[in-house]
Amino acid sequence: MEGYLVAMATFAALYALLALGLNLVWGMTGMINLGLVGFYAVGAYVSALLTKKAGWPMAAGVLAGMLLAAMAGAALALVTARLRGDYLAIITLGFSEVVRLVASNEIWLTNGTDGISGIPGPWRGQVTPATFNLIYLGLAGVAVAAVYLAMQRVRHSPYGRVLRAIRDDDQVAAVAGKPVIAFKVEAFAVSAAVLGLAGALYGHYTSYIAPEGFVPLISIYIVLALTAGGTGSNTGAVVGAFLVVFFLESTRFVTAALPGLKPVQVAAVREFLIGASLIVVLRVRPAGLVPERLPRHVPPAAPATGAAR
Amino acid sequence: MSEVAQLLVNGLVAGTILAVPAIGFTAIYAVLRFPNFTVASHATIGAFAGYVANTAGGLPAWAAVGVAFVVAGAAGVVNDEIVLKPLRPAGALTAAIAAVALTIVLENVVRFVWGNDLRGYDLPIRRDWQWAGLRIGPQQVENLAIAVLAMAALFLFLAFTRTGKAMRAVADNPMLAGIKGINADMVGRLVNFVGMGLAGIGGMLLGLDTSIDPLTGFRVILSVFAAAVVGGLGSIPGAVVGALTIGVAEELSLLSLAPAYRTAVGFAAILVVLTLRPRGLLGERAY
C-alpha cells in the first residue's frame, strides 16, 4: 500500500511538471498545445536512448531530451506564430501522432511497439526497489519545486506580464512594441523543455517506455489537471495534477467494482469518465479550484487631491 | 512507370474519399470558427451506423451510406447542442479542447458497445477490374461514385437553395447575415448536421475499403486536417483540392517511405504549406 502511494505521488509529480509546462503556454500566453504528449515522448525517448545506448550520464540525457523537445516546440510555434490559434491546435495534435508513429516504426532505434526496457535510473540496483522509489519521489519533488519556483518567477516578472498581454490581445502587445512572435516562440520552447523534462524523468523512473505510453489521452489528463486546478495559476497546475491522479485511480477502483463488464468495457468507462469530466469542468468551473489571481501592482498611495479621473 | 500510374489512380480515389470528411471539417470551421476535432468520432459513428445497417439490417453498402450520413449528422447536432455550443462563447480554443475531450467520450461509447475488434462490412466478393495494366476494385469505384455524388449534392445545395445560401452568408459575415434576419443558431445546427454527416460518410467509405474499429475516425484525422489546411481552412473547394493533393502525395510517398508513414505525409504537407503559403492553396475563404 505504501509502495502504491509512493508510485502515485511520483506520477502526480510528473503530471504536475506537465501541467506547469502547459500552464506557461496555455495559461499564461494563451497558446494551445493539444499534443503535449508528443513533447513528453521526445524527452523520454531522447534521454532513454542516450543513456542506454550511448552511455551518456543521466543528467546529460535529461538535458538533451529537454533541448530536443524545446527545438521541436520552437519549430512548431514558429510555423504557426502569425496564424490563428486554431492552426497550433491542429499542428500540435498532428505532431504528437507523428512522434508516436516514428517511435512505433523506427524499430532499429526505438525497438518499435515493443518499447525500450532497462533504462537506467539513479542508484537503481544499488538500493532496494522501495528505497529507489523513495529517492525518485524526492527527485521528482525537487524537479516540481524548481520548475514551480521558476514559473512563479516568470509569472510575476515583466516578462510574464508581456505573456499575459499576448494572451489577452496580441495585437495590443504588438502595438506596445513587444516582439510578439519572439515571445511566443520562446514561451513555447521553454514549455516544451519542461514537458520534455517530465518525459525524461518518466523513462528513468519506470525503466521502460513504449509508444502506447504516449497516447493522446495523456494530453487530456494534463489539460484536465490544469483546467480543474486553475488555468493561469501555477499552484492550480500542481493541485490539479494531484487531483487528476487521485481521480484516475478512483475510477480504477470504481470501474473494477462494476459487475459483468468485460475488461475492454471497463477501460472504455474509465476513458469516458475522464473525457466527460473535462467537459463538465469546462462548463461548471472554467476558472478551476485555484483561480488565477493576477499579481497586482500596488500603486504608491495616490495623493488625495480629489481630482476626478 | 505503371507502378506510378497505379499509385496515382489509388491516390485520386483515396483523395476523393478523403475530400468528404475534409469538407465536413472545413464547412464547420467556416461557419462556427473553431476546429471541431469531433469529426474523428463522428466518422467512427457513421462507420458503425453503416455497419449495423449493412450487417444487421441487410442493406447494400450504398444504402447503408445514407444511414451513416443521417446517424452521424444527427449525433453531430445533438453533441454540439449539449456540449460544444455552450462553450463556444469562451473562445475557439476552449471549444477545441472540449472537442478533443468529446471525441474521446464518443469513441469510448462505441468501444463500450462493440469492443476493439476489427469488423468488416458484408460485401459481395468481386474480381478487380484490369485495364491497361492498372487494377481497380469495383468497391473502390462504387466508393468513388458515392463520394462524388455526396459532394455534388452539397455543391448544388450550397449554390442553389435558400438555406445553402444562408449558410454561406453566415460563413462569410455572421454579423451582416444576422442583420438580414438569418438565424445563426439554425444555420449552426444545419452545418453540424451536414458536416458531421459527411464525416460519417467518410468514415464508412474508409471502412468499406478495409475494416472498422473505434479508432477508425481518429486514424484518418491527420489526413483530414492536412486536406483542410493545405486547401485553405474554411474553403470547401480548397478542401477538395487539398484532399486530392494529400491523397496522391500519400500514395506516391510509398515509392520512398514505409507504408506506416503515409499519415505523416499529411503532417509534413501542413508544415510546408503553412510555411510557404499560410492561407492554403485556394486561400482561406468560405465558399
Q: What is the pLDDT confidence band of residue A299, given thresholds at 50, 70 and 90? A: low
Q: What is the pLDDT confidence band of residue B279, given thresholds at 50, 70 and 90? A: confident
pLDDT for position A308: 44
pLDDT for position B129: 87
Residue B285 has pLDDT above 60, yes or no: no
Q: A187 is in which domain, residue-wise?
A: 2-215
Residues B32-57 have a mean pLDDT of 96
pLDDT for position A306: 47
Domain count within chain B: 1
A-chain CB neighbours of B107 within 8 Å are 271
pLDDT for position B190: 95
Q: What is the pLDDT confidence band of residue A259, given thresholds at 50, 70 and 90? A: confident
Domain count within chain A: 1
Looking only at Cα atoms, what is the longest distance across chain A? 76
Least confident of A86-90, A112-116, B40-44, B134-138: B134-138
Q: Do A86 and B96 touch (CB under 8 A)?
A: yes
Top pLDDT among A102 and A307 is at A102
A-chain CB neighbours of B263 within 8 Å are 97-98, 101
Return d(Cα B283, Cα B108) in angstroms, integer. Answer: 36
Three-state SS sequence of chain A:
CHHHHHHHHHHHHHHHHHHHHHHHHHHHHCCCCCCHHHHHHHHHHHHHHHHHCCCCCHHHHHHHHHHHHHHHHHHHHHHHCCCCHHHHHHHHHHHHHHHHHHHHHCHHHHCHHHCEECCCCCCECCECHHHHHHHHHHHHHHHHHHHHHHHHHHHHCHHHHHHHHHHHCHHHHHHCCCCHHHHHHHHHHHHHHHHHHHHHHHHHHHCEECHHHHCHHHHHHHHHHHHHHCCCCHHHHHHHHHHHHHHHHHHHHHHHHCCCCCHHHHHHHHHHHHHHHHHHHHHHCCCCCCCCCCCCCCCCCCCCCCCCC
Least confident of A105-119, A237-251, A266-280, A295-309: A295-309
Other residues' Cβ atoms within 10 Å of the Cβ of residue A115: 18
Whether the CB of A90 is below 8 Å from some CB of chain B: the reply is: yes
Residue keyed to cell 504549406: B273
pLDDT for position A295: 66
Q: Kindly state whether residue A64 falls inside one of the protein's structural domains.
A: yes
- The DSSP output letter for B180 is T
Average pLDDT over chain B, rounded to whole? 92
- Give me the residue from A85, A90, A265 closest to B112, CB to CB: A265
Tell which A residues from 266 to 295 touch B, by Cβ distance under 8 Å: 267-269, 271-272, 274-276, 278-279, 282-283, 286
Q: What is the pLDDT confidence band of residue A293, given thresholds at 50, 70 and 90? A: confident
Whether the CB of A91 is below 8 Å from some CB of chain B: the reply is: yes
Q: Do B92 and A264 touch (CB under 8 A)?
A: no
Q: Kindly state whether residue B241 falls inside one of the protein's structural domains.
A: no
Q: Kindly state whether residue A55 falls inside one of the protein's structural domains.
A: yes
Q: What is the ipTM of this complex?
A: 0.90
- The DSSP output letter for B234 is T
Q: In sequence order, what are the beta bridge partners of A116? A: A209
Q: B192 is in which domain, residue-wise?
A: 19-216
Q: Do B105 and A83 touch (CB under 8 A)?
A: no
Return d(Cα A92, Cα B203) in angstroms, integer. Answer: 23
Q: Do A93 and B37 touch (CB under 8 A)?
A: yes
Tell which of B26, B44, B100, B114 to mutate to test the A interface (max A CBs under 10 Å): B100
- The C-alpha of A308 sits at a distance from chain B's nearest C-alpha, in angstroms, of 35
Top pLDDT among A151 and A254 is at A151
Q: Is B139 helix (H, G, I), strand (E, B) or coil?
A: helix
pLDDT for position A45: 97
Q: Is B218 helix (H, G, I), strand (E, B) or coil?
A: helix
Whether the CB of B101 is below 8 Å from some CB of chain A: the reply is: yes
pLDDT for position A303: 56
Nearest CA in chain B to A217: B104
- Give me the residue from A89, A105, A279 closest to B258, CB to CB: A105
Residue A309 has pLDDT above 70, yes or no: no
Tell which of B106, B118, B221, B267 to mutate to test the A interface (max A CBs under 10 Å): B267
Residues A116-144 have a mean pLDDT of 93
Q: What is the pLDDT confidence band of residue B126, given thresholds at 50, 70 and 90? A: confident
pLDDT for position B287: 41
Q: Reduced to 3 DSSP states, what percent helix, strand and coil does chain B have, rounded to the nearest 5? A: 75, 5, 20
Q: Kindly state whether residue B271 falls inside one of the protein's structural domains.
A: no
Residues B249-268 have a mean pLDDT of 90
Could you tell me the pTM of the whole model?
0.91
Q: Kindly state whether residue A104 falls inside one of the protein's structural domains.
A: yes
Q: Using one digit for the tens of pLDDT, what is the confidence trace for B217-229?
A: 998 999 999 999 9
pLDDT for position B286: 39
Q: Kindly state whether residue B277 falls inside one of the protein's structural domains.
A: no
Q: Using one digit for the tens of pLDDT, what is the confidence trace for B142-189?
A: 999 999 999 999 999 999 999 999 999 998 888 899 898 899 899 999
Q: Kindly state whether residue A267 falls inside one of the protein's structural domains.
A: no
- The C-alpha of A222 sits at a distance from chain B's nearest C-alpha, in angstroms, of 11
Residue B277 has pLDDT above 90, yes or no: no
Q: Kindly state whether residue A67 falls inside one of the protein's structural domains.
A: yes
CB A43 within 8 A of CB A198: yes
pLDDT for position B205: 95
Nearest CA in chain A to B83: A279
Residues B29-55 have a mean pLDDT of 96
Q: Kindly state whether residue A108 falls inside one of the protein's structural domains.
A: yes
Residue B120 has pLDDT above 50, yes or no: yes
- The C-alpha of B225 sits at a distance from chain A's nearest C-alpha, in angstroms, of 7
A-chain CB neighbours of B229 within 8 Å are 87, 90
Percent residues over pLDDT 70 in chain B: 98
Residue A301 has pLDDT above 70, yes or no: no
Return d(Cα B254, Cα B261) in angstroms, integer. Answer: 9
Q: Kindly state whether residue A238 falls inside one of the protein's structural domains.
A: no
Residues B240-245 have a mean pLDDT of 95
Return d(Cα A285, Cα A280) in angstroms, integer. Answer: 8
Tell which of B28, B105, B110, B223 to mutate to test the A interface (max A CBs under 10 Å): B105
